[in-house]
Structure 1
Amino acid sequence: MTNTLIFDFNGTMFFDAAFQKTAWENFLAEVFNVKMTESEFQSHIAGRNNRYTFEYYAHRPITETELETMSEAKEQGYRTLCLSQPENFHLVPGLSEFLDNCRTQGIKLNIATASERPNVEFFFKNLGLARWFAIDQVALNDSSLPGKPAPDIFLKAMANVGANGAESAIFEDSVSGIQAANRAQTGQVILVRDPQATAISLPVDLRVDHQISDYYRIGETLLENQ
């Protein structure tokens, strides 16, 4: 029985691939004078924390000061893009209704995201996430945990709401996120695909129980007979 749902955020609850790509392209061109490829985006950016990506392009470890400065510059550009396109800055179709149904049925909900706290606060403010989630329970990128594909952030998100892996489902959109979900040994793994984004190529040894591009029907599969 599934009684807990853990969501990655970017690309899973909010289809933001276009925003992310533009923000990263602008940042990498300005700071590292490089042009990001689609392969690099999928392998070294999507689902990864900022430290990993910055060190990949810097070809060296970075300091805490560098991490803070570069993160704020990149994420401020990303947030500005989101606010400049309100018609595209919204939750995935069907998600609000799905989360309402989960709450009605007493399903535990949490978020496990590679985003840092300023972005999480930005999403809570502008997308009304407090309707379903408690921000202090969210497992986010605070430099205390290894990034995906390590499972630690999902394990923390489950622990924060008193859940266990066998009775939990994880929603993810990236290769590193699906790898982390597999390593967390969760009951179900759901791949969320943005129909407007480039399809990811998953290694054949990864388990994915369901694939969705909206949340209109997944409740029938996950929540029936709860």
Structure 2
Amino acid sequence: MTNVLASQAVLFDLDGVLTDTAAVHRRAWSVLFTEFLPTVAPDAAPYTDADYFALVDGKARSAGVRSVLASRGVSVPDGSADDPPDAQTVHGLGNRKNVRFTDIIRGDGVEVFEGSLRVVDLLGAAGIPMAVVSSSRNAVLVLETARLLDRFQVVVDGVTAERDQLAGKPAPDMFLTAAKELGVEPARTVVIEDAVSGVEAGHRGGFWVVGVDRGTGVAALIEAGANEVVTDLANLLEGDSSR
């Protein structure tokens, strides 16, 4: 079992690890593709949560759109990042999903997992540096809404990745950038992730990876490279994990 207090730093994914916003993402993606796919591929299989975990979870927004469309044999132009939400392009569809997501967040707020907050509190009290590494372009909004932003010395998110031209997960670049900014070594740093693509990114970067099973499944997380898997971050304080 990982002793997080013995690490140089801890790098957290956001959605599904610190906050229950993964459920909001699933809802927003479902609305998008349930509305859109029948208009371009009426005979295609309906979009389900299984598609979210297999094709979208942990990826940059545009990559998620491409993955789902490709799975249904649909192709649309990429367009550009500033495409309006009604544009029938990869970026337009991604922006349409983002409108759904931000509307839900602003209306309903953000729920923080109690076990995750306990770990963050413990690490903060011990002076262990922490970062959030998220593919989401909404990471700062979510952290601010959850009143967590001041807990983390570094945030590397979708905005950072676009600005600095970092490859998204499952490439390790975003985690390696966070480690560099914190001045820590990957081999002595813990990554905590709930998505297969994020676990793979941490593993490829040489980090010790803790997978959090919020529905992806223990076997899938271990196959992606997790050194151990928990069902809640509180398990890290209680000595309960799977390998």
Structure-1 separation of matches of 2:105 and 2:117: 19
Give the match's secondary structure for 2:130. strand
Give the match's secondary structure for 1:94. helix
Amino acid at match of 1:140: D
Count of residues in Structure 1 that have an aligned counterpart in Structure 2? 212
Query: Structure 2, unaligned stretches of length 5 or more?
Result: 1-5, 84-89
Structure-1 separation of matches of 2:111 and 2:221: 30
More helix by share: 2
- The share of aligned pairs that are identical, in percent, is 21
Q: Give the deviation of 1:91 after TM superposition.
A: 1.1
Out of 206, 213, 218, which is 1:193 matched to?
A: 213
The answer on 1:20 being equivalent to 2:40 is no
Q: 1:161 to 1:39 in 2, by over 3 A?
A: same
> Where do 1:1-226 residues align within 5 Å?
1-33=6-38, 35-56=46-67, 57=69, 59-60=75-76, 62-64=78-80, 65-66=82-83, 69-86=92-109, 89-116=110-137, 119-134=138-153, 137-142=154-159, 143=162, 144-186=165-207, 188-194=208-214, 197=215, 199=217, 201-202=219-220, 205-219=223-237
Q: 1:203 to 1:171 in 2, by over 3 A?
A: closer
Structure-2 separation of matches of 1:125 and 1:203: 29
Q: TM-score, normalised by structure 2?
A: 0.77
Q: 1:73 to 1:11 in 2, by over 3 A?
A: same
Give the match's secondary structure for 2:209. strand
Amino acid at match of 2:33: L
Give the match's secondary structure for 2:34. helix
Q: Give the deviation of 1:202 after TM superposition.
A: 1.2
- Tell me if the contact between 1:174 and 1:200 (Cα under 8 Å) persists in the aligned partners: no
- Tell me if the contact between 2:57 and 2:64 (Cα under 8 Å) persists in the aligned partners: no
- Tell me if the contact between 1:6 and 1:112 (Cα under 8 Å) persists in the aligned partners: yes
Amino acid at match of 2:209: V
Query: Structure 1, unaligned stretches of length 5 or more?
Result: 222-226
Give the match's secondary structure for 1:202. helix
Q: 1:163 to 1:16 in 2, by over 3 A?
A: same
Q: TM-score, normalised by structure 1?
A: 0.82
Q: 1:96 to 1:203 in 2, by over 3 A?
A: closer
Structure-2 separation of matches of 1:205 and 1:214: 19
Q: 1:78 to 1:182 in 2, by over 3 A?
A: same
Structure-1 separation of matches of 2:222 and 2:117: 32
Q: Give the deviation of 1:78 after TM superposition.
A: 1.3
Q: Give the deviation of 1:30 after TM superposition.
A: 3.1
- Tell me if the contact between 1:42 and 1:200 (Cα under 8 Å) persists in the aligned partners: no
Amino acid at match of 1:79: T
Q: Deviations over 1:1-51 (max 9, x none)?
A: 411100111111113343222210111233443631343212210011111
Structure-2 separation of matches of 1:61 and 1:200: 36
Structure with greater contact order relative to length (CA < 8 Å, sep ≥ 6): 1
